[in-house]
Amino acid sequence: MPEAQSSQSKASSLLQQYGGLLGISGSTASGMEGSIPHQLYPNIVQSLPFQVELMNTKVHFSRYDTTATIYQFYNDIYDPFSLVGVIKGYTIGLPGKIIGLFKEEQPEKALPASVNRDTVLSLTKYQMNVVKILQDQLRASVDQQTGVIMLKGDFPDPQAAAEISHAGITLLKKYIRDYRTNKAKRDLEFIKEQVTEAKQRFNDAQSRLANFRDSNVNLTTAKAQTREQQLQSKYNLAFNLYNSLSQQLEQARLQVQEKTPVFTILQPVRVPLKKSSPKRLRIIIISCILGIVISLGVILIQDWWAIAKSDKFSL
């Protein structure tokens, strides 16, 4: 369950209550702008960067007594394309197999370890097939009335199904938080750099003013007094700038806290106790119905053939 949008959070109220003592305005820290609509959460789960990061997640496969990434599981342990791949490979894929005999075998391209959502992703055909499998196995849905998000994971291994669902929830929360706090964090880093530079200028101005006063204890000449006024003005300017940026730094930190969404887990992930598919009872019922229909059909055909054959001999 995502955090409900509100016009003012606790960070905003604290900023408005005590910000005046620090010279910080609380007007910019209110509101919940830049939130992602709940309807887009399933699209995030189905997105390619999300799926690639999910494939790099390590989970424990209880039936195989091993821990590996999801991509390693499909690539080295469990082949989801075994039957379909054999049939397809020796029918429509047979010409490609023949041509491949005369080509040098290219090594399989490694799956990207990290994903930059601002760049172009390059995946192999097999990796894209694994992505499509994961898109079917991990699905997200949103209750339009309450906004509650539900993630459902189907997998050949019960322990892995639970761990992949949990990893999907964690990754989805990370995506939402990164989106909501991205600009606030960039502003915070920029202000930190400015504060560091302003502090250095302030220290330099303070040192120059102190050194000048130590060297000129008795300011008797107008030239010396003018020089002190110049150094004092630079010191005051550097101090005011440093003080102002320090206040903005505290405000930026509160902004990051303000923008960070909170999620509440209503129903924790659990390890399934029975298979969700295939539906064995349904398969048995359908098989029985088909068996009866086919048997009746065979009997009717045999009776018709016997009648037709007897009529033929009678002629």
Instruction: Give the model confidence (pLDDT) of 76-102 as tens digits.
Output: 888 766 554 444 444 544 455 455 545
The pLDDT score that the predictor gives to residue 16 is: 52
The pLDDT score that the predictor gives to residue 200 is: 93
Beta-bridged to residue 2, according to DSSP, are 263
The pLDDT score that the predictor gives to residue 97 is: 47
Task: Tell me whether residue 269 is exposed, middle or buried, using C-beta atoms within 10 angstroms of its C-beta: 0 to 12, 13 to 18, 19 or more.
Answer: middle
Q: What is the pLDDT of residues 165-210, one digit of tens each?
A: 999 999 988 888 888 888 888 889 999 999 999 999 999 999 998 8
Task: Tell me whether residue 291 is exposed, middle or buried, using C-beta atoms within 10 angstroms of its C-beta: 0 to 12, 13 to 18, 19 or more.
Answer: exposed
How far apart are alpha carbons 242 and 240 in whole angstroms? Answer: 5
Residues 6 or more apart from 128 whose CB is under 8 A from it? none
Q: Give me the mean pLDDT over the 51-71 stretch.
A: 89
Tell whether the model's pLDDT for residue 2 goes beyond 90: no
The pLDDT score that the predictor gives to residue 99 is: 53
> For 112, left (φ over 0), alpha (ψ -120 to 50), or beta?
beta
Residues 6 or more apart from 14 whose CB is under 8 A from it? 254
Place of tokens 């490609």: 96
Q: Give me the mean pLDDT over the 57-68 stretch.
A: 87
The pLDDT score that the predictor gives to residue 255 is: 86
Q: What is the pLDDT of residues 251-281, one digit of tens each?
A: 888 888 888 877 888 888 888 887 777 667 7
- pTM recorded for the entire structure: 0.64
Domain residue extents for the chain: 10-277, 280-315
Average pLDDT of the chain? 78
